[in-house]
């Protein structure tokens, strides 16, 4: 069947975004792509990753969550092991100015909350003025067991845990999520110079000597593939995964874009899909979904004049009232509990709801 719609890719006038226009009968959609996200999604390993069968199933998804937490733990051992000794000192502030991952994984811990209160703004500002790479190196060192020597044995034990989770994921999916890496230390002071290979030399912040990469001492560790981690932490994987399923159903898709509605407002759309002139938008939620999220989604549907909408949830809608509200809207396909469902089953439901023959 011919698509009664024409898609015009406009050469971006700005360097920040790509714009596509879709024209059809009573349809004009202006789609704005985020170049940074699109580059990430086009990455070969990321593409392979989101092609993992049943990626959103708890069996696989929870292992990946565990792996990323374990990695944050490996690269932040100081946090749990020496947090208490930091508690009274200035150096604690380093934790809060640096890695987002710390906040992401430990924000719920009681200790973190208590300590955060103790931070003085003056100290915080001092670190904020420091060049970022310098700060990062120093912070890594603190994370790896404070000013003293890196506890090599500890790092190796944690690395083994990381590997065993990585192996489980590989067994289930055939995908190798870990990449070999190394932590580079000053051979004399055993403090961290870098948590990845570098070119040239790095200055040891204890003995002040320049250490070349040849002279640095290495601990071999594994890391989660950087792009995969980014796509995971931004929750882009679920959108890309849904887009892949929709492409299996002959849709043309756009992932993580802004689309201009009839009102002139730009809406964030997780997945926009077009199939035989039918416009479909999909909202993907990996975490909790509030009543507001659902109402906002309905506004989006009507402003974008999309024909069909999918609400894809790893979990379920929290309230029966919201579920009932969604159920009454025939334009919405509600995919709840995707963490418990097989991919084939999800595809079958979509085929049925979109009236596609298998
Ligand atoms: Zn040194």
Higher pLDDT, 357 or 233: 233
Q: How high is the mean pLDDT of the chain?
A: 80
Distance (Å, rounded) from C-alpha 113 to C-alpha 100?
Answer: 15
% pLDDT > 70, the chain: 73
150: CA distance to ligand 1 center in Å? 12
3-state secondary structure the chain: CCCCEEEEEECCCCCCEEEEEEEECCEEEEEEEEHHHHHHHHCHHHHHHHCCCCCCCHHHHHHHHHHHHHHHHHCCHHHHHCHHHHCCCCCHHHHHHCCHHHHHHHCCCHHHHHHHHCCCHHHHHHHHCCCHHHHHHHHHHHHCCCCCCCCHHHHHHHHHHHHHHHHHHHHHHCCCCEEEEEEEECCCCCCEEECCCCCCEEECCCCCCEEECCCCEEEEEEEECHHHHHHHHCCHHHHHHHHHHHHHCCCEEEEEEEEECCCCCEEEEEEEEEECCEEEEEEEECCCCCHHHHHHHHHHHHHCCCCEEEEEECCCCCCHHHHHHHHHCCCEEEECCHHHCCHHHHHHHHHHHCCCCC
154: CA distance to ligand 1 center in Å? 20
Lowest mean pLDDT among 81-95, 195-209, 308-322: 81-95
% pLDDT > 90, the chain: 44
User: Quick one: pLDDT at residue 113?
Assistant: 54
209: CA distance to ligand 1 center in Å? 6
Report pLDDT digits (tens) over 215-270: 999 999 999 999 999 999 889 999 999 999 999 999 999 999 999 988 889 999 99
Token readout for 69 is 């937490």
Distance (Å, rounded) from C-alpha 31 to C-alpha 204?
Answer: 49
218: CA distance to ligand 1 center in Å? 14
152: CA distance to ligand 1 center in Å? 16
Higher pLDDT, 208 or 12: 208
Higher pLDDT, 82 or 128: 128
Closest to 333 measured CA to CA, from 357, 303, 306, 358: 306
Sign of the alpha-carbon dihedral angle for 183, 185, 190, 193: negative
Q: How confident is the model at residue 177 (pLDDT cuts 50, 70, 90)?
A: very high
203: CA distance to ligand 1 center in Å? 8
187: CA distance to ligand 1 center in Å? 7
- In order of 29, 53, 226, 290, 310, the CA distances from 270 in angstroms are 15, 20, 22, 17, 10
Q: How confident is the model at residue 125 (pLDDT cuts 50, 70, 90)?
A: low
Please, which residues have CB less than 5 A from ligand 1, an ion? 186, 188-189, 204, 206-207
211: CA distance to ligand 1 center in Å? 8
Phi and psi at 275, nearest 5°, equal -140, 120
Report pLDDT digits (tens) over 262-293: 888 999 999 999 988 889 999 999 988 888 89
Closest to 355 measured CA to CA, from 308, 311, 298: 308
What separation, in Å, do the N-terminal and C-terminal C-alpha atoms of the chain show?
Answer: 17
Across residues 174-202, what is the average pLDDT? 87
Higher pLDDT, 53 or 88: 53
Q: How confident is the model at residue 74 (pLDDT cuts 50, 70, 90)?
A: confident
210: CA distance to ligand 1 center in Å? 8
97: CA distance to ligand 1 center in Å? 24
CB 269 within 8 A of CB 48: no
User: Quick one: pLDDT at residue 325?
Assistant: 87
Enter the CATH code of domain 5-47+234-352: 3.40.1350.10
User: Quick one: pLDDT at residue 122?
Assistant: 47
Q: Give the residue extent of every domain in the chain.
A: 5-47+234-352, 58-174+178-224
213: CA distance to ligand 1 center in Å? 13
336: CA distance to ligand 1 center in Å? 54
Higher pLDDT, 40 or 357: 40
Residues in the chain: 358
Phi and psi at 147, nearest 5°, equal -65, -25
153: CA distance to ligand 1 center in Å? 20
Question: Cβ atoms within 10 A of the Cβ of 130, count?
Answer: 14
94: CA distance to ligand 1 center in Å? 20
CB 294 within 8 A of CB 326: yes
Higher pLDDT, 343 or 133: 343
84: CA distance to ligand 1 center in Å? 25
User: Quick one: pLDDT at residue 1?
Assistant: 45
Question: Cβ atoms within 10 A of the Cβ of 38, count?
Answer: 15
141: CA distance to ligand 1 center in Å? 12
298: CA distance to ligand 1 center in Å? 59
User: Quick one: pLDDT at residue 221?
Assistant: 92
192: CA distance to ligand 1 center in Å? 9
188: CA distance to ligand 1 center in Å? 5
Distance (Å, rounded) from C-alpha 25 to C-alpha 321?
Answer: 36
180: CA distance to ligand 1 center in Å? 25
322: CA distance to ligand 1 center in Å? 60
Higher pLDDT, 328 or 110: 328
């Amino acid at each position: 069947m011919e698509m009664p719609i024409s898609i015009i890719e406009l050469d971006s006038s700005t360097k920040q975004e790509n714009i596509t226009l879709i024209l059809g009968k009573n349809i004009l959609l202006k789609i704005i792509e985020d170049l940074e996200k699109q580059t990430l999604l086009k990455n070969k390993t990321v593409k392979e990753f989101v092609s993992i069968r049943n990626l959103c199933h708890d069996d696989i998804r929870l292992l990946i969550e565990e792996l990323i937490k374990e990695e944050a733990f490996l690269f932040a051992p100081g946090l749990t092991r020496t947090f208490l000794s930091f508690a009274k000192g200035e150096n604690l502030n380093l934790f809060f100015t640096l890695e987002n991952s710390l906040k992401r994984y430990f924000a719920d811990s009681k200790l973190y909350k208590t300590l955060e209160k103790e931070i003085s703004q003056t100290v915080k500002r001092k670190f904020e003025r420091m060049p970022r790479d310098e700060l990062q190196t120093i912070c890594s060192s603190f994370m790896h067991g404070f000013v003293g020597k890196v506890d090599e044995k500890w790092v190796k034990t944690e690395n083994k845990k990381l590997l065993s989770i990585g192996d489980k994921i590989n067994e289930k999916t055939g995908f190798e999520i870990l990449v070999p890496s190394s932590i580079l230390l000053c051979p004399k002071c055993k403090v961290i110079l870098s948590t990845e290979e570098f070119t040239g030399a790095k200055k040891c912040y204890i003995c002040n000597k320049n250490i070349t990469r040849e002279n640095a001492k290495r601990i071999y560790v594994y890391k989660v593939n950087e792009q995969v981690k980014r796509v995971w932490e931004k929750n882009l994987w679920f959108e890309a995964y849904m887009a892949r399923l929709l492409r299996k159903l002959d849709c043309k898709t756009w992932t993580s874009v802004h689309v201009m509605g009839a009102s002139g407002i730009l809406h964030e759309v997780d997945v926009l899909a077009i199939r035989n002139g039918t416009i479909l938008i999909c909202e993907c939620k990996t975490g909790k979904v509030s009543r507001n999220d659902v109402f906002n989604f309905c506004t989006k549907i009507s402003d974008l004049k999309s024909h069909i909408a999918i609400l894809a949830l790893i979990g379920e809608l929290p309230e029966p009232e919201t579920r009932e509200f969604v159920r009454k809207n025939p334009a919405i396909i509600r995919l709840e509990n995707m963490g418990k469902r097989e991919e084939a089953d999800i595809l079958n439901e979509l085929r049925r709801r979109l009236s596609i023959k298998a």
